[in-house]
Each structure stands twice: as structure tokens, then as C-alpha cells.
Amino acid sequence: MAVLNNILAGAAGQTGGAGGYTIERSLRFNSDDSAHLSRTPSVEGNRRTWTWAGWVKRSALTTALYQSLFANNSGANAFLGFVNGGDGLLFYDSVAVAGGNVRYTSNLLRDPSAWYHVVFNCDTTKATASERARIYVNGTEASYSVANDPALNSDLVINSTIEHQIGGQPAVSRHFSGYLVDIHFIDGQALDPTDFGEFDDNGVWQPIAYTGTYGTNGFHLDFSDNTNTTTIAEDSSGNGNDWTANNISVTAGAGNDSLFDSPTNGTQTDTGAGGEVSGNYCTLNPLTPGVTGLSNGNLDAASANAYPTIIPGSGSWYYEVDGTGYNWDGTFGSWTPRAGSHNFGQRPFSSTAPSGFKALCTANLDDPTIADSSTAMDVVTYTGNGTSQTISGLNLSPDLVWIKNRSQTDPHSLYDTIRGATKRIVTNSTAQESSNNNSLTAFTSDGFSVGSLDAVNGSSEALVAWTWDGGTSTVSNTDGSTTANVRANASTGFSIVSYTGTSANATVGHGLNAAPEFIIIKNRDRLTEWAVYHAVLGATQHLKINRNYAAQSVASYFNNTAPTSSVVSLGGAVVTNYTGEDIIAYCFAPVEGYSAFGSYTGNGSSDGPFVYTGFRPAFVMYKRTDSTSDWYVDDYQRDGYNFSNKNLLANLNNVESGGSFTDFLSNGFKLRLSSSARNASGGTYIYAAFAENPFKTARAR
């Protein structure tokens, strides 16, 4: 895959709403304009019980001290929005608790490339104090770094007869930068996210139509009537609680703040005119290292130093800068950042796109090969019981299970269906394969069973398993000069290859119908090193997953010959091809929207490289190649949210440790700390990444 400025070409996108519910357009808020909506209730509503819900796409992240989603202020004040320095969500109420901070999420919401769904509810009449105020993101309650409970039956500031704002806060400069849509306020009820959305069959949170009542001061803003600034903020709930648009434009042209950027993919036809199709649209990416001067929903750039949030691997795309049209074939090398006002099709083009060229939004992207990545690869955490247990509930029947005890210095334990249950190889050791009847004892249809071995089931200890589906059958493969037993899942780009070495140059078939870009090999019969092939390094170099070594050149590992769509080439090395000894290889080929094997160059900054993968990662393994460095493994289950900061090292048996390094995002990952291990200035790094969701369906993370 082509690499440029630490951004990788790949797939991208988003999915439509559940039950046929679609959101056509959104309203853009630009903090530099002090854009906001305002309303002063004529009567007081229920100040103890209410709900705010809405879809949010961020633009500027930490440029302002606060960015308000919903607030009021008249001496006593309340605020729901983002806070500078951490990008968590804060609910503040000056009368609710001492100091005002009621809930502040430890979730860091700094993904500007896709949509979040935010729900806040409060009910101070509840007997259980912790249930009186809650923040939900994409259908799941957030974790909190600050949690102060309002007093029982206390009246909060929201819903009083003072000015309320959306996208700002009265009397102070706390304006939001980004896009908002489908905003609900429910007066008198503390509702759950399931009143406004649901998870689809692929595990993605989707909007649904709200069918309940609103109460006296309740409202629904869908921003669907963009006739003028009066109608753009009309209440569609039936209550007539309309809002006033301030410093917001709905006129035609580049200044129009009513855009077709939406959390759902529309089914409209793209004729090339622009402003026709709903979906998550491309903008300029503020996570590009060193980027400055973005505004107006990240569509305006003061300088040419930002790259796009969507980089499709192929296709014909049209966009305009200051009214001048540009054709783009989807490959990264033909995208040139430009200063000026950008239009990727979220509003009408100045000219019609050439035939066959489309607006750059998720609705126009190809459907992903793997819609639900958990059916191909998944991560599960569990607590050991010291005797035996079955870990179930996966959406796949695993063929490779990699287990690490996070609480103890136990080895990394790998089991696969070709070698069979109980047979372990260890990534942090040169040891040959061993058998233990108390280790992984069985592979099941939705998980695996473990015995009493501490490394896989230590009593009361935290463990993680990374799992891959290798298909339904093991076959004899004669594509190469050496016959191999192969279990392959070509649709997910993963195969397990077992063969017997010859010590002579040879080839073995891998069964993927595409060239692998990442291969891990272990001689099962001998105390010897591991071998790793990565396409970025090529077949003339290799790494050792059990060592922190830099990339090395030994021709006998892969015979200086890159894999093809049918075979892997081998030299005569003991590690990869020793006479008469059994050897296992795990082969991975990239699948757009699901897996990526690329590289990046460190910049030594806390504003580290952003790496585009075309999906929201579930698992990323990193290794510096130009110097010694450990193999770091991050996943989406152990941390739950950004930062990803619970380190495990594939080449060491270390206990899980902290250290904030990486944000997982809807379309890739971003390094957030300077370190020789992951982000040294000028350092070169390879990675292997697997998806939680393809960007076509991913929500912001």
C-alpha cells in the first residue's frame, strides 16, 4: 500500500439508519463566527428530570477552553460539552454540586472524521445517587474521571426561564466547531440511548425515530427545512419550541451551513452536481501532524498542510477548491493538499463533475467485504478461575488463539487448529512447541476452553485473547514445491500453513489467492528464533517477533523473493525451512476495510503521525525497524477508549503496564506521545492492524 506523510490508502465510510430512519443533512457551527442557536423558555420546565440527545461531528478539537453542545448562563449556569486538554465530555451545573462538575468522561472524544451520538440524562429523584446523571456515547455509558452526584430531588439550572444555547453558552465564548443534527430535548423524562438509536446486525450504533413525548419545553431539531435562517431551527416535535439561528448562513454557495453531511448514508443518486447525497463527508483532517488554519467545519484551509479524512483505495472522485474542480482517482499520490475553501460534495458544486466521478462521502464508497469484522478477528478479555472454563460469545469459531495473562509474567501462548488444542508456541521465547493438557483444551464454535494453566486461566487474574478465523477446513496444498497442510480463509486474508522443512530453497502454498503482506513463522521442533516477513521491508529483510532487534538481512529466510498470490518463498534457514522439522506459518493478506500492514515515520512529538487504515482498529501491533524496539500490542477491549495505554509486548512476558501512546479512530490511529518505541523523530515503524468496523460503518471513537 502506498505511504505518504504517514497516511495509508484504504477503504472508508458509514452505514444507514435502522428501521429505515435516515438523516438527510446537518447544520455546521463555526466557532470563529460565534455560531449558535438560542432560545429562552417562557415557562419553567422540569429541572430535576430531562434528557438531551444529538449526533455530533467535531471539527476543532482543543483550540478553545470549552465547546458547548447545550448550555445556559445567568449567574447560575449549566454546560454540556467538550473541555480543552482532554477532549472529554463535561456536564457542569453550578447549583448541582460543589464546584459544579457533575460528570466528566475519561473517554477522550477527539475523532473528527465521523459522527458520535451523545445522550445525557438526569433524574435527581432517583434513590441511587450514581443514576442521577449519565453520559452515553454511541449507545454505551461513558466511564468517568469525575463523578459527583447531585443531591436527591435537587433542581438543576437547565429548563429554567433563562436563555439556553446550542453550540454556545450565553455571556461567555464557548462556541462549538463542527456539525450537529437530530437534537432532542425531553422535558420530564430521563431516557436511555435506546429511545434514539440501536445497534445494527454489525454492531454499529444507528439512529432510530423517537416515538415518545417531549414535555413542555421539549423539542426536536432536525435542520431539514433550510429555506432560510428562520426555518432552519424550527422545532419538529409539534411543541413549537423554535430556536433562533445566530451567525449561521443557509444561503447558497460556500457560506452555506446547511450541508448533506450526515450520520446515515442516503440512497439518493449522485449525478455529479454535488449537494445530492447524504452521508459522512470527507473534510480536511486536523489530526495531520502540524496542521494549522482549518475552519468552517474543516472545509477551509489557510495553508496547504492538511490531508483528507477519506482516502478510498480506488474510484473516480471530484472535489472543488475555491470553485475550481479537481479529479481524483483515489490513490494517495495524486492528492495534493490545497489552501482554500473545499467542497467534497456536501453542498452543490460550482460545476458538474465529469461523467462517472462522484462526491467523496461514505454513501458512495463500495460496501465492505467484511461488514462485521468480529466475524473474522476479535479480542476477548476474561478473568481466570484457576480450574477450567469456556470462553464463549465470539462471532467466530477461532482457528488461531493468542492468549496473554495480563496480571502475571506468563508467556504469550499461541494455539491453532492445525497443530491442535493443548499445543503451545510462545512468541516471547525461542522454545519449541510444547504440550500441556491444562492449557487451551478445545476450540469451540464461538470461543475456546481452557484448563488450569496459569498462563491461560490464572485464578482471579486478567487475561486477553486475540483470535482469528481461518476458515472451515484444512486441506493439502500442492501449489508450492513443498506440500503443506493449509487452513485458509481467503475472504478474511488469513491462513495457517504447516509444512516440513527441506533446508533447500523451496516454496509453500498459502491458499489466500492474494499475496500475504505479513507472515509469522516458527520452527516447532527446535529451540530457535521466530521469523517475520512484512511487505514494507520486503523479502530481503526480516524481523524476529521474539526479539527487539532491528530489521536484518539474511537471504536464507525468504530466499530474497516476495510472496505471490499462491506461494511463500523460503531459503534454507533453520528458522523457516530446516530438514525434516515441522514448521508453522501464519499468513495475512490485506483486505480493504478490515486489515492493513503498513509503515509510518515518527516525528518525536506528542502531535504524532496519523496513520490511515480505512477502518476503526480493534488490534494494532507496532515495531520499530531501524533500531532496537519491542513489539507493542494495543487493542480496543483492554482500554475501552482513548488513550490506548495498556501495554503488552509480544517479545516479552511482561505484566500489562500503562503509558498513553495511541488513539484508535474511525479511520485509523494517531500516535500521541514521543517515544523511541513508537514515535522517535525519523524512526521507521511497521504495523499490523485489524478492524473493529470498516470506516464505511464506523462511528467516531
Q: Examine the pLDDT at 5 and tell me if it is beyond 50.
A: no
pLDDT at 15: 46
Phi-psi sector, 148: left (phi>0), alpha (psi -120 to 50), beta: beta
3-state SS string for 276-301: CCCECECCECCCCCCCCCEECCCCEE
Q: Name the average pLDDT for the chain.
A: 94
Length of the chain: 701
Q: What is the DSSP string of 599-640?
A: EEE--SSSS--EEE-SEEEEEEEEEESSS----EEEEHHHH-
Element (H, E) at 3: strand 3-4
- Residue 312: CB atoms within 10 Å: 29
In eight-state DSSP terms, residue 552 is B
User: Checking DSSP bridges between strand 300-301 and strand 317-321, what pairing results, if any?
Assistant: unpaired
Which residues have C-beta within 8 Å of that of residue 499, sequence separation ≥ 6?
482, 483, 484, 485, 508, 582, 583, 585
Please compute the mean of the pLDDT values over residues 456-465 and round it to a whole number. 98
Phi-psi sector, 62: left (phi>0), alpha (psi -120 to 50), beta: alpha
In eight-state DSSP terms, residue 161 is S
With a pLDDT cut of 90, the percent of the chain lying above it is 88
3-state SS string for 341-382: EEECCCCECCCCCCCCCECCEHHHCCCCCCCCHHHCEEEEEE
What separation in angstroms does the CA of 263 have from each of 141, 185, 688? Answer: 20, 19, 29
Q: How confident is the model at residue 332 (pLDDT cuts 50, 70, 90)?
A: low
What separation in angstroms does the CA of 574 have from each of 53, 59, 430, 500? Answer: 61, 53, 12, 11
Please compute the mean of the pLDDT values over residues 603-612 and round it to a whole number. 95
Which residues have C-beta within 8 Å of that of residue 113, sequence separation ≥ 6?
280, 283, 285, 287, 309, 310, 665, 666, 667, 695, 700
Q: Please answer whether residues 178 and 68 qualify as being in contact, where contact means their C-beta atoms are separated by less than 8 angstroms.
A: no
pLDDT at 333: 58
Element (H, E) at 590: none
Q: How confident is the model at residue 294 (pLDDT cuts 50, 70, 90)?
A: very high
Q: Per DSSP, which regions of 43-177 are E strands? A: 49-58, 66-74, 76-83, 89-93, 101-105, 116-123, 133-137, 140-141, 144-147, 164-166
pLDDT at 252: 76
How does 594-626 read in b/e, with b if 16+ C-beta sit within 10 Å? Answer: bbbbbbbbbbeeebbbbbbbbbbbbbbbbbbbe
Please compute the mean of the pLDDT values over residues 191-199 and round it to a whole number. 98
pLDDT at 581: 98
pLDDT at 642: 86
pLDDT at 6: 36
Beta bridge partners, 388, equal: none
Three-state DSSP class for residue 33:
helix
> Which residue, among 243, 219, 282, 324, has the nearest Cα to 36 in the 3D structure?
243
In eight-state DSSP terms, residue 546 is T
Q: What is the DSSP string of 128-156?
A: SGGGSEEEEETTEEPPEEEE-PPPTT---
Bigger pLDDT: 333 vs 306: 306
Q: Examine the pLDDT at 197 and tell me if it is beyond 60.
A: yes
pLDDT at 611: 97
Q: How confident is the model at residue 643 (pLDDT cuts 50, 70, 90)?
A: confident
Please compute the mean of the pLDDT values over residues 202-216 and round it to a whole number. 97
Say how far apart CA 395 and CA 649 lie, in whole Å.
Answer: 26
pTM (2 decimals)? 0.95
pLDDT at 11: 30
pLDDT at 8: 32
pLDDT at 19: 63
pLDDT at 456: 98
Q: Examine the pLDDT at 49 and tell me if it is beyond 70.
A: yes
Phi and psi dihedrals of 325, rounded to 5?
Answer: -85, 145
Say how far apart CA 182 and CA 262 lie, in whole Å.
Answer: 10
What separation in angstroms does the CA of 592 have from each of 177, 329, 565, 596, 689? Answer: 31, 16, 16, 8, 11
